[in-house]
Amino acid sequence: MTKLNVLIVDDSAFMRKLISNFLQEDSRIEVVGTARNGIDALNKIKILNPDVVTLDVEMPEMNGIEALKRIMSEVPRPVVMLSSTTKEGAENTLLAIQHGAVDFIQKPSGPISIDLHLIKNEIVTKVLNAGRVNIALLKKPLKIQETITSRFVDYSKIELESNRSIKKIVCMGTSTGGPRALQQVLTEFPRNYPLPIVIVQHMPAGFTKSLANRLNSLCEITVKEAENGEFLKPGTAYIAPGGYHMKIKKIGTSFAVNIDESEITNGHRPSVDVLFESLSEIKGIQKISVIMTGMGTDGTYGLKKLKETGQAVSIAESQDTSIVFGMPKSAIETHLVDRVESLEDIASTILSLT
């Protein structure tokens, strides 16, 4: 089997050595070189032609964000970012994903993390996963419909305020490539969309709030990180907080968010399966489920539970537009998916089912 050639970019010699050692321990990976900053990285990529690049965000001369922009424009290939856990680090990470990074890894204790061994498996897994992504899609600009509200019936605020009884809930699951996919879909919902939207995006604690804030600044609907105990409102998208499961419970005629730290499911917390299964237990309400880009099978079990109720319509993202066709493929293989749609058509499909 051909090995995955990796270039490691970090301004710390110590970090370059640690990451190299971790990756080299896996027989499927070959570290072909290291670079100390963005300028050095661009030169090394042109010479060594690695399959995947790990790129530190905070570096002198040319930082990771600037280097990423240049890489994606001049020598595009999968890039995995390494970021600090600070609020600024989270915002820079989302900026990196916006500019084409495949995924990111949190350094556990700042730019120079002597405890990096704690996330050794995550580093190896994410680098291997990056080698499987569709790089052509990461380079492709998002096709966001500026005129979405004129193409669909808008919903009056008066109607929303008087219609307190929620009849349908939209539920979404995404992982690798998800922030980009969510931006494409959520920006196409009109201002007064009459349904609540609940979302699991695989991300660690500290990052989902920045993601929600960013999406909220771009969307006509409200996008927020979900809070324990809050009631679902129409025209609002709730993103499960990183590190916590999100479940939806019926209280009287309303629906409330339940956040907890119960057992990790299918390798994830938050888990799409947990969200979907909680919705499957609520009778008398329609669900529109959506599974988009991501590695693995999270969401497939939950989809089966939703379909057992007979009150769910399911949409999966097509292979043509998935950055990683893992989660959608697993869902499609159940033969329970009603619609397989390209990313650009998912919002209009949801709107047609609303």
Shared domain check, 135 and 152: no
Q: pLDDT of 109-145, one tens digit each?
A: 666 667 778 889 999 999 999 999 988 887 776 665 5
Measured CA to CA, the distance from residue 54 to residue 59 in angstroms comes to 13
55 within 8 A of 82, measured Cβ to Cβ: yes
Q: Which domain holds residue 335?
A: 148-353
Catalytic residue among 20, 175, 280, 322: 175
Q: How far is CA 61 from the centre of its chain?
A: 30
Shared domain check, 109 and 162: no
Q: Comparing 26-40, 138-152, 157-171, 271-285, which segment has the lowest mean pLDDT?
A: 138-152
Q: Into how many domains does the chain fold? A: 2
Is residue 184 over pLDDT 90?
A: yes
Shared domain check, 292 and 262: yes
pLDDT of residue 235: 95
Select from 112, 139, 166 the last residue of a domain: 139
Select from 115, 139, 163 the last residue of a domain: 139
Shared domain check, 312 and 174: yes
Q: pLDDT of 251-276, one tens digit each?
A: 998 999 999 999 999 889 999 999 99
Q: Comparing 11-25, 81-95, 316-330, which segment has the lowest mean pLDDT?
A: 81-95
Q: pLDDT of 201-223, one tens digit each?
A: 999 888 899 899 999 999 999 99
Catalytic residue among 280, 298, 314, 318: 298
Shared domain check, 126 and 220: no
Is residue 150 over pLDDT 70?
A: no
Catalytic residue among 51, 202, 318, 330: 202
pLDDT of residue 175: 95
The model's confidence at residue 162, banded by pLDDT at 50, 70 and 90, is very low
298 counts as catalytic: yes
Shared domain check, 254 and 128: no
Select from 139, 169, 189 the last residue of a domain: 139
pLDDT of residue 95: 86
Taking alpha carbons only, the member of 2, 50, 43, 4 closest to residue 24 is 4
pLDDT of residue 136: 84
- How many other CB atoms are there within 10 angstroms of residue 306's CB atom? 24
Higher pLDDT, 59 or 279: 279
Is residue 20 over pLDDT 60?
A: yes
Is residue 48 over pLDDT 50?
A: yes
In CATH, what number is assigned to the domain containing residue 184? 3.40.50.180
